[in-house]
Structure 1
Amino acid sequence: MNKIFGILAVLCCLALPGINLQAAGYPDQPVTLVAPYGAGGASDLVARALAETARGYLGEQPVIVINKPGNGGMTGSRYVANADPDGYTLLLARVGMALYPAVHEKSPVAWDEYTFLGLLEATPMILCVNADSPYQTVEDLLTAIKQNLGRMTYAASGAAAIDGFATQTLLADAGLDPLTAATLVPYKGGGALATALLGGHVDFLAVSAGSLMPHIEAGKMRALMVYSPQRMSKLPDVPTATEKGFTLAGQVTGWSALYGPKNLPENVVSSWKNALDKVATDKTWMELADRRGSISAIGTVDMAEYAQKQFQLYNSLAKKFGYLK
């Protein structure tokens, strides 16, 4: 008799619209979270912070972080976009997921080729020099660049990546050619970028706070400016780009979000919405965000709308700087 009732229950579920048996018990196995940049960088750090805190709100199923760097974050993004839309392969999205399609006409993944699960945090960029550098202010640095056109170097993951735009917008705001006034030296991942500055291989950089704050706090780097709407609580004496009157640079900021493949089942979306609502006030999540120099932003924007605006911003910058016609 019980067996008959069980069969009838399954048949009823199949007959009801909107019921997804696969998603009904989600998650019933570990979730893979893909960080599309290298270990030790901003995406890796926030992915591991989310993995640590979210499992407590997902029935204790583990969230396993894997790094799939390459092609400006598109290798990992494509991996997730092509995954089964079952909620077990998700993406720790960064601003590059909107930026790369904005500056590459043949992007492997479009900016909207995802299910947008939510914004996680704002991650200010910081303009930094080595602690041994003679430059004490952003004005000192710009003066040196003007006096040594093309000879000073900065580290970035690519010319048309967020850290590339962070420097190029500053140069443009200062009346310099954004592509030739300073020479870009490419490195992969936030950890490698920080190491390049620490080792004296470049003169300056402007990358995510998560990759730089430990070195700033250790006295090994000097912060000259932050790319954020307001000053960072951990760097109260460091001015923002907007305060300095840098219009283009003032629009640049980093962020992290949670994406999935297109057409995730509604039950999966709801499960993550509920989980993120709880993560937003989780003490561990907040402490880890503060440690990275990030600002928790869960629930503050409609992620699909925000991603579209970010795409439009960087598309306009790409045209202004000559990357696109």
Structure 2
Amino acid sequence: MFRQLKKAAGLAAAILATTTMISTAQADAYPEKAITLVVPYGAGGASDLAGRALAETARNYTDGQPVVVVNKTGNGGMSGAKFVTEQKPDGYTLLLSRVGMALYPAVYADSPVGWDAYTFLGILESTPMILAVNANSDIKTIDDLIAKIKDSNGATTYAASGPTAIDGFSVQALLSDVGLDPLTASTLVPYKGGSALAAALLGGHVDFLAIAAGSLMPHIEAGKMRPLMVYSPKRMAALPDVPTAKELGYTQAGQVGGWSGLYAPKDLPADVVAKWTEILGKVATDAQWLDLAAKRGSTSVIGDEDPSAYVKSQFELYNGMAKKFGYIQ
């Protein structure tokens, strides 16, 4: 009996050792194939540009495996987000997250995905938003814009992805700050994606907008748009003469801003999380990543924020605004 037990124990130890070796080998091998990076918004916008910049840079550190960007749009970004949460947590399907992943569930109780339904790998960049008008507009300053909105009785128009998208909240927060009804003082005209929003302003179809800098800077630099204010903690280096919402005293608008993050499905294995921590650490100092971020008007913040705590704070910010503005009764 003793010999049988000893033999069984030896067999169990051998199986455990083999399993450990296989697990270690799998961990060391990641990634073994292409990684899909889902961008939940349309091509050409700020999120798409950020996703492609990350893919282009990160592939230098993924052991020769490509990072392939796939756009999966719909439902304010939540269609792509939901798709990622439904994938196997193996590190081969990731999400280029935006503020919408925190904002949407902050507004809608029936959101298809909760703000915390992910493994948070990191916050990548801070993306200033710019309040702008067409260069041919008679609006020269933020005061001119506010005066025109007050006189228009709701007739002024602005482009946004939707009333509860970040570019909707950017305007509504400002309207609320100056004592106007955030939902009726100006009329929202919906468009999909940053490039479509910019085209609406360029074409004279709306009076103003406030969207991500990445979608507007090329047009501002070309002299086709006039920036009035930026939504960022400090002035943009590329627009040193344009004031921030915060310095102008707009309390709510001063807290609004865009950002990008990297998420994975819930319960991502620790070794894969560690691998991406390593990859992002290298991306953070990569000249290519920093250059592409600067060209988009963004600031790299990799490693500056605890992603889980940061996303929670963003959820709470927009949940509070949603209640104040009447989206949540």
TM normalised by structure 2 equals 0.94
Please tell me whether the aligned partners of residues 118 and 258 of structure 1 are also in contact (alpha carbons under 8 angstroms): yes
Which of 129, 133, 137 is the equivalent residue of 1:133? 137
Aligned to 1:3: none
Task: Give the C-alpha shift of residue 58 in structure 1.
Answer: 1.0
Q: Which runs of 4+ in 1 moved over 4 A?
A: 8-11
Distance 2:214 2:14 in 1: 50
> Within 5 A, what are the aligned runs for 1:114-263?
114-263=118-267
- Give the count of matched residue pairs: 317
- 1:43 is aligned to 2:52: no
Aligned to 2:111: 107
Aligned to 1:267: 271
Query: Residues 228, 62 of structure 1: CA spacing in aligned structure 2 closer, same or farther, 3 A cutoff?
Result: same
Please tell me whether the aligned partners of residues 95 and 254 of structure 1 are also in contact (alpha carbons under 8 angstroms): yes
- 1:25 is aligned to 2:33: no
Query: Residues 9, 28 of structure 1: CA spacing in aligned structure 2 closer, same or farther, 3 A cutoff?
Result: farther
Deviations 1:46-99, CA, capped at 9 Å, x for gaps: 100000000111112100001011100000000001111010000000000000
Distance 2:154 2:18 in 1: 67
Task: Give the C-alpha shift of residue 13 in structure 1.
Answer: 4.3
**Residue identity matched to 2:141:** T
Which of 300, 310, 313 is the equivalent residue of 1:309? 313
**Residue identity matched to 1:37:** Y
> Within 5 A, what are the aligned runs for 1:276-295?
276-295=280-299
Distance 2:246 2:324 in 1: 20
TM normalised by structure 1 equals 0.95
Aligned to 1:5: none
> Which secondary structure does the structure 2 equivalent of 1:210 belong to?
helix
Distance 2:223 2:38 in 1: 32
Which of 299, 321, 324 is the equivalent residue of 1:320? 324
Aligned to 2:6: none
Task: Give the C-alpha shift of residue 250 in structure 1.
Answer: 0.2
Task: Give the C-alpha shift of residue 21 in structure 1.
Answer: 5.3
Task: Give the C-alpha shift of residue 23 in structure 1.
Answer: 3.7
Aligned to 2:89: 85
> Which secondary structure does the structure 2 equivalent of 1:304 belong to?
helix
Distance 1:183 1:220 in 2: 23
- 1:12 is aligned to 2:22: no
Distance 1:94 1:67 in 2: 13
Please tell me whether the aligned partners of residues 40 and 190 of structure 1 are also in contact (alpha carbons under 8 angstroms): yes
Please tell me whether the aligned partners of residues 23 and 86 of structure 1 are also in contact (alpha carbons under 8 angstroms): no
- 1:299 is aligned to 2:303: yes
- Give the unaligned 5+ runs of structure 2: 1-12
Computing the radius of gyration from Cα coordinates, the structure with the larger value is: 2
**Residue identity matched to 1:306:** Y
Deviations 1:227-258, CA, capped at 9 Å, x for gaps: 00100000000000011110010010100000
Task: Give the C-alpha shift of residue 291 in structure 1.
Answer: 0.2
> Which secondary structure does the structure 2 equivalent of 1:40 belong to?
coil
Distance 1:35 1:196 in 2: 23
Deviations 1:251-291, CA, capped at 9 Å, x for gaps: 10100000000001111111110010010010000000000
Query: What RMSD in Å do the two structures reach over aligned CA positions?
Result: 1.5
**Residue identity matched to 1:322:** G
> Which secondary structure does the structure 1 equivalent of 2:273 belong to?
helix
Percent identical among aligned pairs is 65
